[in-house]
Amino acid sequence: MTDLAIYGLLFASAFLSATLLPGSSEVALLALLANGEGTPTLLLVTATFGNVLGAVVNFLLGKYVSRFLDHRWCPISPDSYEKARIWYDRYGVWSLLLSWVPVVGDPLTVLAGALQVGFWRFVVLVTTGKAARYGLVYLLWQGWSQS
């Protein structure tokens, strides 16, 4: 496989995994590392960038949906939105550091958009959390592969 294909597939996997679609980019990253494909640092950057970009899509969807809360056809009721806002106010934007957590992370990124979290604050916190996760995956793989 060419380098472009390797990084492109990892990017796609990471991007889709960060949206509301199911996926596991960690498995793709581990497979590439185990097969000696690509440069580890570039693999980590590619996975992080793809995953953050997918989270940005969620953020924008949340921002867009929040405009229609008063419409009957909107999938989010005003009551649900208010409960989410109260929860988010309680735990704050720092919860975005957990945007990589399966099941919880994707809705967090949508909620951040709906609650009008500052875009650059969102990007910094989400990137930090997602990069730390991929870094941990790499360190665990490195420890496993050396034993």
70-113 pLDDT, tens digit each? 777 766 667 767 776 777 778 889 989 988 888 778 888 888 99
* Cα 9 from Cα 66, distance rounded (Å): 32
**pLDDT at site 1:** 73
Instruction: Report how far residue 83's alpha carbon sits from residue 81's, in angstroms, rounded to the nearest whole number.
Output: 5
Task: Name the domain count of the chain.
Answer: 1
If one compares 126 and 1, the residue with the highest pLDDT of the two is 126
Instruction: Give every CB contact of residue 123 below 8 A, 6+ residues apart in sequence.
Output: 52, 56
The whole domain housing 70 covers: 3-145
- Asked if residue 19 has pLDDT above 90, the reply is no
* Distance from C-alpha of 27 to C-alpha of 88, rounded to nearest angstrom: 30
Residue 75 CA to residue 118 CA, distance in Å, equals 23
Check residue 8 and give its pLDDT.
94
**Which tens digit of pLDDT belongs to each residue from 122-140?**
999 999 999 999 999 999 9
| Per-residue pLDDT reduced to its tens digit, 32-76 | 999 999 999 999 999 999 999 999 998 998 898 877 777 777 666
pLDDT at 75: 63
* Rounded mean pLDDT, 3-21: 89
Most distant CA pair in the chain, distance: 58
58: phi then psi, degrees, rounded to nearest 5: -60, -45
Closest CA to 112 of 87, 130, 75: 87
Of all residues in the chain, the percent with pLDDT exceeding 90 is: 48
The residue to which tokens 């494909």 are assigned = 37
